[in-house]
Chains A and B, each alone.
Chain A
Amino acid sequence: MAEDSFYHALKVDEKTCYGCTHCMNVCPTGAIRIRNGIASIRPDWCVDCGECMRACPVDAIFVEHDDFDRIFNYKCRVALVPAVLIGQFPAKVTEAEIFSVMRELGFTHVFQTEHTAGIIRKAMVETAREAEEKPSISSFCPAIVRLVQIKFPSLLDQVLNIKPPIDASAVYFRKRLEDEGIPSEDIGIFYVTPCAAKIAAVKSPVGEEQSPLDGVIDMRFIYNKIYRLIKSRHNSSSVSPGEMLPLLSPGSIKYSLTEGEASRMEGRCLAIDGIHNVIEFLEKLENDELGNVDFLELRACDQSCAGGVLVGGNRFLTTERLNKRAKRFEGVADIPGDIKAYTHFMNHNMDIGILEPRSMMALDEDMGEAMRKMQQVRHLMCFLPGIDCGACGAPNCQSLAEDIVRRESQLSACVFIQRMMEKHSKLSGEHALKIIEKVWGKNRLDKNCNKKGAEDEAGG
């Protein structure tokens, strides 16, 4: 399958990973296998949701983000900051302080991602009204868009062809800066991301040929920098000069939270967060079980972006702070005044391009061949124990059977099958251990008192 060009933000640190299967067991698309004692992620199955990163007990799964110093390749250095960054700080830290620190870090401009949320909402309402097939599905969460591509391709037409705030804002601010006379090549727009999926979306956009962003910065990095600077300031009791940004409407501030979109669309709208919940729900949608739903807001993370895998603060507190902030801004217009002059430009730059199905479910492209393979899988399942222990390096027996048929594993990878083979003298104990080493790495079964929970564990 020609899926090699697909970029993923999630990587496995082969030195730290010890092949514990936690990530393999939580992956919502079953994309992880253990090979040679470490986790490996199948690129064409991964949607960059970050569940594996959350589950890893030793932080062996990390995101590849841009080196911060890359911003200095540009004369005009723009930080695109989502509301959830602000939500992470305690209430006594003002937004003005946060933004002024961003400038001190080296950014020449700091803009808010949700600046374009109002115009996006308007476009979504209009497009959803015209949609032939209901419900319309939001394109907000990049992990969900990818999930639909690989697991629910028949629903792709229902995904609204409208840019999410990061892309729309990047396009908008670039245009505005260009209109101020700054050459396009001098402008570098960097998104401060709360999740891995948005890194992948920038490096390898699903619809458009090229992302309107120039780079992505891990939110934890910025969060730590800002926190440290603010702390030292508070200690020296110097007063921050502060910096005012355009005010956002309550709807825009809450846009990336759960119900942020659904609460403001027309008709019967539902908001689902958590990727496992989304999968369960899309199964029902595919069966046509839902009746008349007009709009679905689907987010991969619990509490939406406040629960992003790169958000350092507690997701419930982040949500609380943003809700409080939104209250203070009641009455602020949904579409900021400066965008109005660009309405025509934005209307022509809102679509995300064509979303192609990338089904990973099929056992083979050719249906006849797929049928043959499925027959083999069913035959293999007659022998596998159905214990789903993961000792073969696959998340469950069914996955192992499918891997075998895809020639990516073998029946003897199952430790219970090994026992049966040994009993019938078809496998020597020596050989059985060799097979286990292939999955779990050399010397994995040797006594080692330094491992997690063992006698000499080196501080947890």
Chain B
Amino acid sequence: MKFKYEIEGGNFSKAGNASSAVKKMLKQLNVPPPIIKRLVVALYEGEVNVVAHAWNGCIQVDIEPHRIFVIIEDEGPGIPDIDQAMQEGYSTASQAVREMGFGAGMGLPNMKKNADELNITSEVGKGTKVEITTLLNE
């Protein structure tokens, strides 16, 4: 079953709405709470990344009985060096964004911690695609 949620770039007051919608759906599907918790934390980080850096984006969720597969895709500046971006504390967020409590450079590492599989591809000047896999049979 597939779902799609739009993310608006630059609108921090709405950051988290898409993650909350996914969370509500996972609860309705009776996905175990600890699995929901991990996935939603990863999703929220991803959503905030899109809001903070990109122009617009979307979350696509594909659920099958044995796994949840999520794609967070955006049109934005892209990530020049993904390995560097994965390091804890590395951040390109502007001062304004940091003052709002975002952009501490923990986003991608935190997503990796909360996903069973994380795959990032990016093209500078075009956008970024983050794929998260969460296994359900544990």
Interface residues of A (CB under 8 A from B): 153-154, 283-284, 286-289, 291, 357, 359, 361-368, 370-371, 374-375
Contacts and interface: CB of A to CB of B under 8 A. Distances in A.
Interface stretch (B35-43, B80-88, B116-124): B35-43
B30 A365 contact: yes
Interface string B41-74: 1011000000000000000000101000000000
Contact of A291 (B23, B33, B101): B101
Interface in B93-118: 101
A190 to B, nearest CB: 37
B65 A368 contact: yes
Given A286-B23, A288-B44, A362 B33 contact: no
Interface centre among A154, A357, A368, A370, by most B CB within 10 Å?
A154
Contact of B29 (A154, A291, A357, A367): A367
A367 B20 CA distance: 19
Contacts of A366: 30
A287 B28 contact: no
B23 A287 contact: yes
B65 A367 contact: yes
Nearest to B40: A287
B37 A286 contact: yes
Q: Which 3 A-B pairs have the closest CB atoms?
A: A154-B33, A362-B30, A361-B27
Contact of B40 (A286, A357, A363): A286
Contact of B63 (A361, A364, A365, A371): A371
Interface of B: 1, 16, 19-20, 23-25, 27-31, 33-34, 36-37, 40-41, 43-44, 63, 65, 101, 136
Contact of B19 (A153, A287, A359): A287
A50 B28 CA distance: 25
B53 to A, nearest CB: 18
Given A286-B37, A287-B40, A289-B44, A364 B30 contact: yes
A291 to B, nearest CB: 6
Contacts of B34: 154
A362 B41 contact: no
Nearest to B136: A367
Contacts of A286: 23, 37, 40
Contacts of A287: 16, 19-20, 23, 40-41, 43-44
Nearest to A289: B16
Contacts of A362: 27-30
A278 to B, nearest CB: 15
Contacts of B30: 359, 362-367, 370
Given A287-B16, A362-B29, A366-B30, A371 B36 contact: no
Nearest to A371: B1
23 contacts: A153-B33, A154-B33, A283-B16, A284-B16, A286-B23, A286-B40, A287-B19, A287-B20, A287-B40, A287-B41, A287-B43, A288-B41, A359-B30, A362-B28, A362-B29, A363-B30, A367-B29, A367-B136, A368-B65, A370-B30, A371-B1, A371-B29, A374-B1
Given A154-B34, A371-B63, A371-B65, A288 B40 contact: yes
A27 to B, nearest CB: 17
Given A287-B40, A359-B30, A374-B1, 9 more contacts: A153-B33, A154-B33, A284-B16, A288-B40, A289-B44, A357-B33, A362-B28, A367-B31, A371-B1
